[in-house]
Every structure is written in structure tokens, then in C-alpha cells.
Structure 1
Amino acid sequence: MKRIVTGILAHVDAGKTTLSEAILYATGQLRKPGRVDHGDAFLDTNAMERARGITIFTEPAIIRTGNTAITLLDTPGHVDFSAETERTIRVLDYAILVISGTDGIQGHTETLWRLLARYNIPTIIFINKMDAPGASKTHVLDQLKHRFGDGCIDFTTMTGTTTDAAVGTTTGTTPAVMEEIAMQSEPAMNEYLETEHVGSDTIRTMIERRELFPCFFGSALKMEGITEFINGFETYTQEPQYGKEFGARVYKISHDSQGNRLTWLKTTGGELHAKALLNGDTWSEKADQVRVYSGAKYTTVESVPAGTICAVTGLTNTHPGEGLGNEQSAKNPILQPVLTYTLLPGTNDTHKCLTALRELEDEDPLLHVAWHPRLQEIHLQLMGAIQLEIIQQMMHDRFGLDVTFGPGAILYKETITQPIEGAGHFEPLRHYAEAHILLEPLPAGSGIQYATTCPEDTLDRNWQRLIITHLKEREHLGTLTGSPITDIRLTLVTGRSHLKHTEGGDFRQATYRAIRQGLMEARAGVPTEASAFDVAQRFAGDDTDHGVDGAVASQGGDKTGEGDAASAETPQCRIKGMGNCRLLEPWYRFRLEVPQDMLGRAMSDVQRMSGSFETPQTDGTGDGEYAILNGTAPVSEMQDYAMDVNAYTHGRGHLSCVFAGYQPCHNAEEVVERENYNPEADLDNTPDSVFCAHGAGYPVKWYKVPEFMHLDYAWSGMRAGEGEAAGE
């Protein structure tokens, strides 16, 4: 039998789970199809899913029909759980995209389409609810061609037909449909001109290459069009070719009812055996059990072949997207959390809450949990309010913790615009470490990258590995609002240890301080606006306003031990402006459909929200009475705009938004002033260093570190003559 892994994806309420139940019933896997609204759907195994009537977690079902074994994955439809859907897409051979016949293509449908295109997943489309009033086959098909391309073709007449094995062609189709298929690729056109048919093998290849997207119509609730869809799926899909060498991709982490950690994966080569030793980037562990699930039930097996979805116990270090064996790890996900909430533990122990949230974070990589020691608070970064409600319910059900959350806020991030070398020195008595980290800006969406260019004769390889570990082990904060940094490459360029006094924790302190000191210098304008020497002079007792508030520091002190002056009490040195630091905020890419006579109001609103838009268009599938605006706008301005659209269009307008990444903040100065973050008062992220003289350690302010550090700058951009800007 050929093995196919497929997933059902859709905008919420398009009938995705209902279609899953219909397929399971039609293929004899269920005696009676379940219903979401009745709370008895086969693939909604969680109590919260049954109670809320929505799919939250991806669950598998095994289907056997004809000569095909299908693993069907039912994915969440709500946008708050789209991260779970994106992780699942990575392991699919084919995707089934469900669209409502009455609602057509909606906002989240377009997000799913982009994800399928990014991961190059062949897609078959099922248009559901065709029995409902207002459902128009012609209108939906025109909309699909207009939005997704001419490869969306009605395959209704392609089902229930016979295949001529001698010539490999499908008979029983209308000439118009066959000609439409032939138009989608040159080989298909050549075959059509010769035989007036396009063979099944050619069609399968076109679908696999995403040149063709078969469309089927029906009603899952009334079992209409289901048999034709299953026949078409079986006919026009083909099993991928797998290698003999073992490979697997992790797509999900969960815990069973006994608390066992489950690593869900798809084998992409060879065989996976129970008790096999699996290796990750930095770990090596044994797979205790291999389970094959169908719904809530599972079978424990000794091995599974390539192309199988299974859950493995015994692995503690895996993460979604990770590749095992010869499989490469996945790229960074497109979807990112844009909101942050503060946990209000009530009477519960805060650290017990943190432990529970860490377990949930392990399962969902887009749930970021951060503990702030200075504030003694737990902050959560996630996708939206519905996800927050689910987390609150899971905290109660799984851990017996009744917690609440503070109001949500926008999750800002910070980056830099120019390279800068930061220096960190940590030398209390009988300790020693110095690290220099080069911070370089990266293109938007790159995240944080790590590297080392430090020669091993300068710093041993073991110390360098340790410093890289310290770079990766925590979320480093910027100096504008204390938000996480992103789109920066952190490179170890030089460092120094002591044969007798250096311990591992010393480099942790030196590394953290180096990053923070570099960010402070970036904010002060080093090296393009002032050299490190100039910055030190700014804080050396000059009463003139040089971009700082009343900065005063005692002069004196040197590298030979006169350190008392450097550690003298000084007022806080608050830098004005942002220098070479930039505040970033999440932006939406939006599609706004409004009646033509309300276009002016819509355009004015977008401009008021600091957004931008392309030339307005008219709906190409209708009579032109609707205008369409495509553009981008900050999440902070547009997150509640859908209610305004519904109000001023009296329910006739429609707004769809998708995450468009982080871009420069439209009101950065206002946000920085509102947050009133003092980077020097954040002792958990101090930019200052510690030096030693006369048998005692003493602190040195970040802007004086270049005068006291034991190593010269390694990056050429920081080696300009004293008093001269490095860029001049």
C-alpha cells in the first residue's frame, strides 16, 4: 500500500473537523460520524476541544481505502493556534484545504495558502457547505482562480471515471476541463495536443509540483461529494520517494495522561526502531516506546517505516522543527507571537506556576515564558486572547492552578543599525574572564545568530564553546525599553582567561556584560557618531548637555589599580535619543474589503493608523461594488479595527490580517518615553564590568570599560584614533 500523510486545514468554522469525520465514516473507520457541536468528534480528543467546539491540538487518524493508507491530521482552524498548524504543515505529503462555500476565501485561508506555498506542499481543495443558501460554485471557483491562480480547477467530473491502463489517461471528463488542465504546464499541453487527453501520471506530477490544485465540491455534514473526493484523492496522489538512511522530523511535543513526554515525528527515511539511539544537535537519547496513534488510542510497535507519523517516549531534549538522522532542521517559523501578558498567580506559589508554564512552553514553541527576577513576575508572549484562555484552562485542569492574567500589551523588540563591539570584564577576587562580542545587524526576520572568529591560540576552544552557550542560553534585552533583541549576529571576536582563576560562571558574567555594554554604546552612537573615547569624555564631569542627563563621573583611575575613582558614586547616566538602536514592533499585512462608497473612510483610517496601502482594486469575482485595500499597518493600531469595520459598513465589510514581521516602530520615541526604562538600573542585565585592584574587585561603568579592559578591540571598526569617529 502507498502511504500518504495529509492534513486538513481551514479557516475557523469552514467545516474542517466535520470533513474529517465524514471521511472516517465513508471509509469505514467510524460507525457514526461525530459532530463538533455535539462534542463527539473522533479527532477532538481533548475535553477543552469538546467543550468549546474548536480544534486546539493536531491529532492523527489512520485511514485505509483501496490500496492507500492515509494518516489524516486534523489541525486547528483558529488563528491563535496557527503555530500548531504551521508545525504540522512541515510533515505533510499533501494538504487538504477546506473552504466554506458561503464565506469563500477568508483572511486565515490566505495565511494557510502562503504557508503551504512556503513549505511547497501539494494541495487539494474541498469547498464545503455547498448545500447552504447562498453557496455559489461559480463564484467560489472564480475567487480561487483570482486569488490562488488558474491551477485551481474543478475536478468534479474527474471522479467516478475509469483509467485506461494501456495509455495512462483518464476518461469521462469534459473536453473543457481537460483543456484547462493542459494549460497549466508545457508537458501537459504537448500530451494533450497529441492525444486530446492528459494522463493520470502527468496530472499526479503536476499536483506534486503545485502546478495544479484539484477542487472538489460537497457538503461534509450531509455526506455529499465525500465519496468522489476520496476517490479523487486516492487516484491523484503518489507516495514520496524515501531514502534508506534514517531520518525524521519532529513536529509536536505533548504529554500523555500519565505525564510521559511524547515527541511526535514523521519518519522521512529508513526505519525507526524502539530502543534506538537518536542523536540531536547537542544530545543523544534512546527512544523507549514507539506509538502509532489513531484518535485517542495508540498501538505500541517495534518499528515503523519511512512515511509514518508516530509518537516516541524517552526523549527529553527534542523541539518542534528539529531534524533527526539525516533530516535537516526546519527554517524559522513565519508566525510569531505579538502580545505579552503578565501572570497574576493569586494565592498560588509563583515558582510552581513557572514550572507548569515551562511544561506548556515545551509543547508550544510560540508560547514564550519569561521570568523577571527584578519584578518577580512571569510574562507570557503568545498569539492572542483565545490562546490565553486555553492556557488558563490547562493550568487549572492539568496542574490545579487557578491563575489570571493582566491586560495584554504589544510585544516590542529591539535591534541595531550599525556594528558595535562590546566588552565585558569580570574579575572579582580569584575570578577572571574577559569577552569581546561583536554585534552586527541582520536583515529583518533573521532572529539571533551566533558565531566565533576568535583564534584558538588567543582563547581555548572549550572556553569559546562555553561563551557560545552563554550567548544562546538566555533572552538578551535591549536598552530602549528592555525588550528582547532580534536580527543581530553575536560573534565572539576575542577573549582572555586565567589559567588558575577562571571558572565557567566567570565567562557567563563577562559575556552578558559584553552584549549589554555593546548595546549601550550603540545607543550612545558609537562608533559612527562618536568614538568610545568620546563617550567616556561625555560622562567625565562635563556639565554641558551632550545627550545625557546630568552625567557626572569622577576622573582618575587607570588600568594599573587606581580604581577607587572609577567606582565612585555617580548619578544615573540616562542617554537621550536612540543612537544606533532601533525599536521594532509587529506589523500586520491586511486585506480590507468595503463597499465602494466607503473606500474613502477606509483609506483615511489606514493613514490615521500609520499604515500604508497599495492602489485600491475592485473585487474581480463580483460586480465591482466592493473595493479592496491591501497594505500594512502596526498591530498596535489595527488589532481592534475589525470591530470598527463591521460597525461602519453595517456588517458588509471584511478585514483579514496576517503577521507581516517586525518593522521599525511608528511611534518609537513615544513608546520609549512611556516605558521609561533605565538600562543602568536593571541590575540583572548590567552593562558595567568588574575589575580587580589591591586584592579587591571594583565596578567600572560601561562607558569607562574601554579605558580599563585588558584586550584591545578586535573589530577594525572600533580601532579608530581616540577622539575620532570610527566611520570617518
Structure 2
Amino acid sequence: MMKKITTGIVAHVDAGKTTLSEALLYGAGNIRNLGRVDNGDAFLDTQQLEKKRGITIFSHEAKLTTDDAEITLLDTPGHVDFAFQTEEVLSVLDYAILVISATDGVTSYAKTLWNLLEKNHVPVFIFVNKIDIAGTNKGQVLTDIQKSLSENCLDFSQEDQTFYENVASADDQLLEKYLNGEEIMNSDIQNLIVQRKIYPVYFGSALKLTGITEFLAGFDKWTKEKEYSPDFSARCFKISHDKNGERLSWIKILGGKLQAKTELAGEKINQLREYNGKKFTTVVKVNAGEIVAATGLTKTYPGQGFGATYAKEASLKPVLTYKLNPLDEDIHACLMALKTLGDENPQLHVTWSEHLQELRVQVMGKIQLEILKQLLQERFTLTVDFEQGSILYKETIAQPVEGVGHFEPLRHYAEVHLLLEPGPRNSGVVFENNCSLEVLTKNWQHQIMTALKSKEHLGVLLGTPITDVKITLLGGKGSIVHSVGGDFREATYRAVRQGLMELKEQDQLILLEPWYDFRLEVSQEHVGRALNDIQRMSGQFNSPENKGDRTIIEGSAPVSEMQDYAAQVRGYTHGDGIFECVVKGYLSCHNAQEIIKQKNYDPVSDLENTPNSVFCSHGAGHTVTWDKVPETAHYPYTYPLK
């Protein structure tokens, strides 16, 4: 019986990812003609927009059959602006194929992909492409990969004594077996690959079909099928719409089976489709290990888990927000179109302000914005523009605090005490319950925890989302007679804000901004200008590295300062400089006081996010300002610092 493998090809833009996909399909005999990305006839670049631009923008699926395996091949976008789509695909892969260009080496984005693969525990095969180009050196490229990614990235192109020594050295038990003269089995090596203890490296040229046969044979030999539970579980990793507007939920079955006409997450599946490029066949059921596109589902979203599978949140998130200029188009038609695109990509965070009659979206960068404009034109015949965006700032805390919220208008009652603690950088907001059932009933605790998780909590410096905070329920108070639905929600929201105001008073809040990791390659005559620019942009950099007559500068800088720098590099190097950047994450804002003063946000006037509480006296509810809430609270403080 043939093994079923799901693999995805990931790479930096222009590394030759789609070209490798074509070569593998052609080499395995699954397509008759070898397509080219630059000719617009690549089997997996099925969208008109992709054919025009010569880049992959969406993830696509193809079927590839070898002697021993039925492989589902997922091609992914290579441009950093679409990294969130690549990350969604990683969650359903058995193996990944990371393409490294021999001419570029390990780029910043390749390192980002490597970290994402590690986070998702995906075993990796590496294909070094363009090895045929003059000036490339196999040994140097392998050294670069081992230095930048892992020393256990091993050359699998020759199976000799050195090969087996290197493999054995990656695992203590296997090394002992090898030193005792025992044979290293293929299954031993397969297990090391699955455990991410070794990473096979192959070399070739996808365009010239060099090394393709060897890579396919190696992939066939060194992969093994996963073992799946008989209990149903699955994950949705993509939402799209076909040419007729039919909504497709792309799902990997991770256990059991899935049948058409059955219910999934409360909705009935209409049709199950197995795609191969643009074409599909309908099937009655799919088994574990297979990927299917389901119709009839309206509420699914990328990252959603079903059955025993948990939901997965993306770690790559947009850092820029832009306002739509509808030009002569109807703003509500634009809203409906963006809602469809936002359904496919929730990371767009499409927001509509009825009061301002404004539409805003969040994006990773300028290329994604250009693609968004073209999608609106081609799919919805809407000609629009986007106006200069602003940076998405976030806020965090520097020390713990107990926050208190009280909500007691007439015939209502709830009090909530929360502990807010600083979390690790880029950890988001996490919640914990440390409240005794003797203090609050299970139902009230559930209401509080639900309220905490159902809202994006805003900080009090700019009114932007908080992050890197752990919020723990400590205690509170309810009334059997007066506590009704919604009371604890109100008290919970106020408790978060009250705690933040306490910290603001103590100057213990930190404004965060997104930073880029960048790599800049220029000729030596431009090094002085480049270093001055980086310092001017409040950036940091490592010691420049000379490579022939070129200099490579790597470092990090605020997105706010560096977001338009690519155009400047093109200008002062007359197109000769190479600049790439990826979002590093959120770090302390380099000009926090300036931004806070500019925004002039008043948290007390933000009535939808008030830090104040409502108490009852003499038969009527009245507002108590946040600073007076602790001394007015009914439940005692439990955090030891108080």
C-alpha cells in the first residue's frame, strides 16, 4: 500500500520554489509539459494575478505520485508580505521542502521560515537550487546552511561512510549503535528526520531539471507515513472562493475520516473536492492524512481545529494599517468586497467606522497592498486606492498590578479582581484562573474568563491593544439576588483598565512598536551612506561583512523608520543594492514620548473602555473614578504587593 505524504515547498521569493514544484511534478510524470513562472504557464500559479506578476501569491495544491508514495504538494507564497499564508499551510504538513538559492544563501526570510518550521515541529528537507550558476560553491553553501540554520543539515547526495558517521553523530543512541558496528537502518534515519534531529540537503537546478530525480528518490526513501488516530480530528488551513464564488474550506484530516453531507462544527458539508491544480474531482469521503476542499461551510477560518485538534493562532501578524480611498466607487460595495477578502484572510482585520464612514485594513507591507488593489479590481471590478497607513503600536506592562472592576447599578452586582503580570516578549495575552469556588461560583468564574477572552483589551497610553501580559482571575464578589448576565463582563473589562491606569500612574507602562530584521547588500562605495541611514533610522547593526567587492550589513530597525527604505536603496545604488526585511516582532518604541504626545489619548474619556466603576448607594448607582476604586471595593485585595 502506498504511503500518503503531505509536503509544502517554502522559500524566499525568487529562490525557485514554484520552478521546483513544476520540476518535481514533471520529473514524477504527473505533468507532460514543464511550465515556467516567467511565462505565466506554471501548473500551480493558477490565478491571473500570479501569471501577471510572476510570483506565487496564494497556496496551491497538486498531486504527485512516486514509486512508493502519493504526495500532496502544497506550493506557498514566497514574498514576505504573504508569510501569514505560508504559516497557515505549515500547520498541516508532514514534511517541508525548504528551497535555498545557491546564489543568495540563507536570507533573513529563510531564517524566519526555519523558525516557523521549528515552531510547528515540521521535519525539513532542503533543496539548494541554482547550483549550476557560475561562482556558486556547494561546500560554501552547505557551510552557510549549517552555520545559519543547524549543524545537522547534512548532505544526502552521497551515501558513503562519512554520510553514516554524520547521521550517527546526531543522536547518542544511534552513535553507540554505529560504534558497536551495528548497521544503521533506513528506519533509523527516517525517525531522526521526523524528530528534526537531522535535515537532508540535496543540490540541483530546478530550471534545468538537474538533481530532481535524485531528490525525488531521496524524498521517497527517507519519508514515512504518519500514524493517525481512528477518532476524527482535522484542521482548516485556508479559505478561498472558486470562479463561481463558491466558498471553499481547505481541510487536512488528522484522524478518522470525513464524509460529504455530514455536519462539521454545526454546519452541513455540501461537497468534498480533491484539487489538482485548477481541476477537482468530488469525493464521498476522505481519510486521515488527506486534504480536501469542503463547500457549504460559512463560519470556518484558517487555523481552526475540529475534533481533538486545537485552534492555532498565527505568529506573523500585520504591522501597518491603511485607509481605503473609494475614489468614485460605492463605499458599501467596497466593504462587501473587503469582507469577502477578509474571510479568506482574517489577518486583513477589515474595520468599518460608521461614524467616520471609513474602511481600514491591516497589511504586512506595500506588495500586499498592491495585490489587494488588484484583487479588488479583477474580482470585484472596484478601482480604489489606499492612503498612507499608520504603524500598529501595542502596549505592555513593566510590573505586576491587581486591577479591580465593580459594576453595581440598581439591581445589578459584580466585582472582579485580576492580577496583571508582564509576559515574555511577543507572547501575546494569556489568561489563567486562580480563583476558589468558595469565592465565586463556577458559573460566575466562567462568565469572567469568557469576558477576558472575548475582547481585545486596549492599553491606556494610546488606546492600542495590550500584549505580552498574563491576566489571572484572583477573586471577586457576586450576588445571588442581583448578579445577572453581563454584570461580570462589565466588571471584568473595568478591572483590566483600572489596573492599567494604576501602572500608568507609576510610569510602569511600555509602548511597543514593530521592528524589522534587515539584510542590506551594497557595493563598498555605498557603505558609509547605508550605515548613516541605519543610525538615522534608530537602527542597530552587526559588524559589516565583506564579500568580494560587496558589503553585507545585517541588523534591526523600527518599521516606522524603515518601511520605505527599499525605494531609497534602489535610488542611491541605482538598482544595484539588495535590501530585504522581515518583521522581527514588537520591541520598545524608539520615540515613545513623541508618539504618546502626538496621539493625546485620554483613557478616562474613552467611555467604551472605561477604567471607572459603578457602585450603589442610597438606592442609586454612581461612578467611582479608577483611583478611588481600591478603597471602595467590597472584596479584599489578594495580591501580596497590596
- Alpha-carbon deviation of 1:42? 1.7
Deviation at 1:61, TM superposition (A): 0.7
**2:403 touches 2:495 (CA, 8 Å); kept in 1?**
yes
1:269 aligns with 2:255: yes
TM-score w.r.t. the length of structure 2 is 0.88
- Conserved in 2, the CA contact under 8 Å of 1:438 and 1:493? yes
Offset of 1:510 from its aligned partner? 3.3
Q: Is the 8 A contact 1:590 1:657 kept in 2?
A: yes
Supply the distance in 1 between the matched residues of 2:374 and 2:409 (Cα, whole angstroms): 47
* Rounded Cα–Cα distance in structure 2 between residues aligned with 1:489 and 1:309: 36
Single out whichever of 405-414 and 484-493 deviates more from structure 2.
484-493
Amino acid at match of 1:227: T
TM-aligned CA deviation for residue 476 of structure 1 = 1.9
Partner amino acid, structure 1, of 2:224: Q
**1:341 and 1:379 in contact (8 A); partners too:** yes
Q: Assess if the C-alpha contact under 8 Å between 1:442 and 1:488 holds in 2.
A: yes
Question: Which amino acid in 2 is paired with 1:638?
Answer: M
Mapped to 2, the partners of 1:694 and 1:184 lie a distance apart of 75
The range that moved more, 664-673 or 415-424, is 415-424
Amino acid at match of 1:445: N
Equivalent position amino acid for 1:388 in 2: L
For residues 213-234 of structure 1, give each alpha carbon's deviation from its aligned partner in whole angstroms, at most 9, with x where no partner exists: 3333333233333222222221
Cα distance in 2 for residues equivalent to 1:467 and 1:361: 29
- What code does the residue aligned with 1:99 have? I
Q: Measure, in 1, the Cα distance between the counterparts of 2:539 and 2:364.
A: 21
Cα deviation code 1:427-459 (max 9, x no counterpart): 455555444443332222221122334444554
Q: Which amino acid aligns with 1:216?
A: Y
Rounded to whole Å, the distance in 2 between the matches of 1:455 and 1:141 is: 57
Match of 2:392 in 1: 411
Q: Give the match for residue 212 of structure 1.
A: 198
Residues 530-679 of structure 1: pairs in structure 2 closer than 5 A:
579-592=507-520, 605-614=533-542, 616=543, 618=545, 630-642=554-566, 654-679=578-603
For residue 698 of structure 1, report the CA deviation from its aligned partner: 4.2
Mark the CA change 1:444 to 1:147 in structure 2 (over 3 Å): closer, same or farther.
closer
CA RMSD, 1 decimal? 3.4
| Aligned pairs (5 A) from 1:328-343 | 328-330=310-312, 332-343=313-324
Deviation at 1:409, TM superposition (A): 2.0
Q: Does 1:480 align with 2:461?
A: yes
Seen in structure 2, the aligned counterparts of structure 1 residues 655 and 348 have a Cα distance that, compared at 3 Å, is closer
In structure 1, what is the equivalent of residue 348 of structure 2? Answer: 367
- Residue from 437, 450, 453 that aligns with 2:431: 450
Cα distance between partner residues in 1 of 2:180 and 2:480: 80
Q: Deviation string for 1:22-59 (max 9, x for gaps)? A: 22222232221222222222212222222222111111
d(CA) in 2 for partners of 1:105, 1:78: 15
State how far apart, in whole Å, the 1-side matches of 2:275 and 2:524 are.
Answer: 51
Among 218, 230, 247, which residue is 2:216 paired with? 230
Q: Would you say the 8 A contact 2:402–2:639 is kept in 1?
A: no
1:178–1:197 contact (8 Å) kept in structure 2: no
Q: Deviations over 1:481-530 (max 9, x none)?
A: 111111223334444455565543444433333322322222112xxxxx
Give the letter aligned to residue 309 of structure 1: I
Report SS of the residue matched to 1:362.
helix
1:391 match: 372
Q: Which residue of 1 aligns with 2:625?
A: 701
Give the total of aligned pairs: 641
Work out the CA distance in 2 between the residues paired with 1:608 and 1:19: 41
In 2, the alpha carbon distance for the partners of 1:390 and 1:656 equals 19
Secondary structure of the corresponding residue to residue 63 of structure 2? strand
> Are the counterparts in 1 of residues 108 and 517 from structure 2 also a CA contact under 8 Å?
no
8 Å CA contact 1:102–1:133 kept in 2: the answer is: no
- Aligned pairs (5 A) from 1:45-194: 45-156=46-157, 158=158, 173=159, 177=163, 180-181=166-167, 183-185=169-171
Alpha-carbon distance in 2 for matches of 1:661, 1:191:
43
Partner of 1:6: 7
CA deviation profile, 1:679-728 (whole Å, cap 9, x unmatched): 2232332223344556655444333434554x23443347xxxxxxx4xx
Question: 1:687 corresponds to which residue?
Answer: 611
**Separation of aligned partners in 2, 1:256 and 1:583:** 42
1:366 match: secondary structure: helix
Which consecutive unaligned segments of at least 5 residues does structure 2 have? none
The equivalent of 2:227 in structure 1 is: 241
Change (3 A) 1:122 1:460: closer
Helix, strand or coil: the match of 1:482?
coil
Q: 2:179, 2:408 → 1: CA distance?
A: 80
The CA deviation string for residues 71-111 of structure 1, in whole angstroms up to 9 with x for no partner, is 00000000000111112112211111222233333221222
Change (3 A) 1:461 1:371: farther
**Distance in structure 2 (CA, Å) of the matches to 1:230 and 1:54:** 24
1:610-648 Cα deviation digits (max 9, x unpaired): 34445x3757xx67x766555443222333445555666
Counterpart residue type for residue 366 of structure 1 = Q
Moved more, 475-484 or 183-192: 183-192
Specify the code of the residue in structure 1 equivalent to 2:207. L
Bigger CA drift: 637-646 or 105-114? 637-646
What CA distance in whole angstroms lies between the structure 1 residues aligned with 2:219 and 2:559? 39
- In structure 2, the partner of 1:516 is 497
Match of 2:361 in 1: 380
**Corresponding letter in the other structure for 1:469:** T
Secondary structure at the residue paired with 1:111?
helix
Q: 1:374 to 1:705 in 2, by over 3 A?
A: farther
- Consecutive unaligned residues in structure 1, runs of 5 or more: 159-172, 526-578, 719-725
Counterpart-to-counterpart distance in 2, 1:44 and 1:363? 18
Q: Provide the rounded CA distance (Å) in 1 between the counterparts of 2:518 and 2:395.
A: 24
> What corresponds to 1:29 in structure 2?
30
Deviations, residues 106-126 of structure 1 (Å, cap 9, x unaligned) = 221222122223323222222
Question: Partner residue of 1:569?
Answer: none
Shift of 1:475: 1.8
Structure 1 counterpart SS, 2:274: strand
Structure 1 or 2, whichever has the larger Rg, is 1
Contact 2:477 2:635 in 1 (8 A): no
User: Against the structure 1 CA distance between its residues 640 and 293, is the aligned structure 2 distance closer, same or farther, given a 3 Å change threshold?
Assistant: same
